[in-house]
Amino acid sequence: MSDMLSQEEIDALLNGAPMTPPPTQQANLDEMEIDALGEVGNISLGNSATALSALLNQKVEITTPQVSMISMDELRSRYPIPHVALRVGYTEGFEGENVLILTQRDATVIANLMMGGDGIIDESVPMEPIALSAVQEAMNQMMGAAATSMSTVFAMRIDISPPAVEIFDFSEGKSIVDSFDLWDKMVIIEFNLKIGNLIDSKIVQLAPVDFSKQLIQKLFSLSTQQSETPKPASSPVRQPEAKPASPEPQRAEQLPPAPPKPAVDVSPVEFGQLSDSPVEGGTPGNIGMLYDVPLNVTVELGRTRKSVRDVLELTQGSIIELDKLAGEPVDVFVNNTLIATGEVVVIEENFGVRITEIVNPKERLRMF
């Protein structure tokens, strides 16, 4: 008699309410749910690899997700060495957060490449705050690309907060993972991470079970809606009806003849001769229509190129050397088109430019 439904379960079925599974079933994932999470992770971090490859100028591969359940004690025993954790919160679409885990060496290599290095590092040197900032930006770009992919998969807008980054050691117990104690059981998704010839390791994604259940329920509901969408019924093929043979062909009704149409006079078109005489001043005659169009005028003192490392090291009072010598003319651009050069002057309390050379007028007219 243990298989019989209780009165509460019968009432719930009659009222159309879903039956709540026992708490022991809610804390675990079955094989179908694990496969669904693996597919979502494969799609989202697949686009993340593309974003990271563009940032690092290296070939990046993130493949082969392995999904399983893990407890906090198992996590501590599996990752005893220092790692870098990045906590990512979802601000729209889903409620919850997850955590990415990288080895400290992998994070240092990524930071070195972000700052214009060659990826060769000294593992004995601890990570500096500027390197953590570089890793944080790289992971922010990765998770942004992952959120975009998830928005496509789940057909809704998904946004994330900037990731919080910290180096931690599970053996110390005081770190960003302190709040993991609330996650008695969590889902772990492990990906193989390859970056050129520099990294061949793993990147780990952790999420609480309730957040993973949100993803699964949303994915399954979308699949159900697509399968229940009625397909347009195909119209049956109509067989041609056989017409009875008439004994005699019917005579067409006699109509009066149509009146003749009047003749149309057709003649070839004649165009006027075009004049080859130039417009006065060499300016097109219709240029006046553009005289009141506003344009952006920019004066450029000089340019230079800096690596990400150099830009991050800039502080108040830093001096940036430009590619022009002192006293050289400045360039005057109109809508990003060079039209003149000049020298900088001071007019009362404002700067100005005295034009010293103008580009060929014909070249200037090409911009309109």
Q: What is the pLDDT of residues 273-289, one digit of tens each?
A: 655 555 444 555 566 66
76-80, 110-114, 137-141: which has the minimum mean pLDDT? Answer: 76-80
Mean pLDDT calculated for residue range 190-200: 89
Is the model's pLDDT at 85 over the cut of 80? Answer: yes
Whole-number pLDDT of residue 76: 75
Closest CA to 66 of 109, 107, 37, 90: 37
330 or 266, greater pLDDT: 330
CA 185 to chain centre: 31
Whole-number pLDDT of residue 11: 61
Q: Give the C-alpha distances (Å, rounded to integers) separating 203 from 44, 47, 352.
A: 14, 15, 55
User: What class has domain 10-226?
Assistant: alpha beta
| CATH 2.30.330.10 domain position(s) in the chain | 296-306+321-368
13-22, 137-146, 295-304, 309-318: which has the minimum mean pLDDT? Answer: 13-22
Give residue 25's pLDDT band: very low, low, confident or very high (50, 70, 90).
very low
Which tokens belong to 12? Answer: 């719930």
Percent pLDDT > 70 in the chain is: 69
Spatial separation of the C-alpha atoms in residues 324 and 330, rounded to whole Å: 9
The contacts of residue 28 (CB under 8 Å, 6+ apart) are 69, 185, 209
Which residues share a beta bridge with 207?
187
Which residues share a beta bridge with 160?
90
296-306+321-368 CATH, one of 3.20.20.70, 3.10.450.50, 1.10.599.10, 2.30.330.10 = 2.30.330.10
Give residue 129's pLDDT band: very low, low, confident or very high (50, 70, 90).
confident
Which amino acid appears at position 262 of this protein? Answer: P
Is the model's pLDDT at 128 over the cut of 50? Answer: yes
The contacts of residue 115 (CB under 8 Å, 6+ apart) are 130, 131, 134, 307, 308, 309, 312
Whole-number pLDDT of residue 228: 63
Residue carrying structure tokens 């700067």: 351
Are 66 and 86 contacting, i.e. CB atoms less than 8 angstroms apart?
no
Give residue 126's pLDDT band: very low, low, confident or very high (50, 70, 90).
confident
| CATH 3.40.1550.10 domain position(s) in the chain | 10-226
Are 119 and 112 contacting, i.e. CB atoms less than 8 angstroms apart?
yes
Give residue 60's pLDDT band: very low, low, confident or very high (50, 70, 90).
confident
Whole-number pLDDT of residue 62: 83
Spatial separation of the C-alpha atoms in residues 305 and 6, rounded to whole Å: 74
The contacts of residue 233 (CB under 8 Å, 6+ apart) are none
Query: H helices of the chain, where?
Result: 7-14, 23-26, 31-56, 72-78, 104-114, 129-154, 209-228, 308-312, 361-365
Closest CA to 29 of 70, 75, 76, 77: 70
Spatial separation of the C-alpha atoms in residues 220 and 217, rounded to whole Å: 5
246-255, 314-323, 341-350: which has the minimum mean pLDDT? Answer: 246-255
Which amino acid appears at position 224 of this protein? Answer: T
Whole-number pLDDT of residue 39: 82
Whole-number pLDDT of residue 252: 45
In this structure, the strands spanning 337-347 and 83-92 are: unpaired
User: How many CB atoms neighbour CB 79 within 10 A?
Assistant: 18
Mean pLDDT calculated for residue range 170-184: 60
